[in-house]
Amino acid sequence: MKQIILFFISFLLLNSGFSQPVVSARISQTSYSNTDPDGAGPATGSVKIRWEVMATETVQADGFGIGFYYQTANLVPGTPVEITPVGPLATLGWTIINNFGAPNAINIAYGGHTYNSSILIGGSWASTGLNLPITTSWAPILEATFFTKSPTFPQGGQIILVPGTILPQHSVSADGGFTEYQFESPGYPAGISLGGTVPVLFSSFDAKCSNNGTVVSWSTAQESNSDYFEVQRSTDGSTWKTIGKTPAAVNSSRETKYNQVDLEGGNAMYRIKQVDRNGQATYTDVERENCTVRNITTLIYPVPAKEALNVVIKSDRAVRTQLAVFDISGKLVKGVDANIQNGTNNFRIDLNGLKSGDYILRSTDASIELNKQFTVVQ
pLDDT tens figures, 274-302: 988 877 788 888 888 887 654 446 888 88
**Under 8 Å between Cβ of 234 and 241:** yes
Residue spans per domain, the chain: 22-194, 198-294, 295-378
Mean per-residue pLDDT for 191-219?
83
The tens digit of pLDDT for each residue in 338-365 reads 998 888 889 999 999 999 999 999 888 7
Instruction: Give the CA radius of gyration of the chain.
Output: 25
pLDDT band at 1 (very low <50, low <70, confident <90, very high): very low
Instruction: Report long-range pairs for 104-113 (Cβ below 8 Å, ≥24 apart).
Output: 106/69, 108/69, 110/69, 110/160, 110/162, 110/188, 110/189, 110/190, 110/191, 111/160, 111/189, 111/190, 111/191, 113/71, 113/158, 113/160, 113/191
Q: Is it the case that residue 15 has pLDDT exceeding 70?
A: no
CATH for the stretch 198-294: 2.60.40.10
Question: Residue 186's CB: how many other CB atoms inside 10 A?
Answer: 22
Q: Quote the CA–CA distance of 51 and 331 in Å, as a whole number.
A: 54
Q: Is it the case that residue 8 has pLDDT exceeding 80?
A: no
C-alpha distances out from residue 303 to 245, 256, 308, 376, Å: 11, 10, 10, 8
The CATH class that applies to domain 295-378 reads mainly beta
Q: Quote the CA–CA distance of 378 and 375 in Å, as a whole number.
A: 10
Same fold? 22-194, 295-378:
yes
Note the Cα 208 to chain centre separation in Å.
14
**What pLDDT, on a 0 to 100 scale, did the predictor assign at position 197?**
65
Q: Is it the case that residue 12 has pLDDT exceeding 60?
A: no
**What pLDDT, on a 0 to 100 scale, did the predictor assign at position 18?**
53
**What pLDDT, on a 0 to 100 scale, did the predictor assign at position 348?**
93
Which pTM was predicted?
0.57
- Percent pLDDT > 70 in the chain is 91
Q: Is it the case that residue 10 has pLDDT exceeding 50?
A: no
The tens digit of pLDDT for each residue in 106-140 reads 899 987 889 999 999 999 998 888 999 999 988 99
Mean per-residue pLDDT for 367-376?
82
pLDDT band at 262 (very low <50, low <70, confident <90, very high): confident
Was domain 22-194 assigned CATH 2.60.40.680? yes
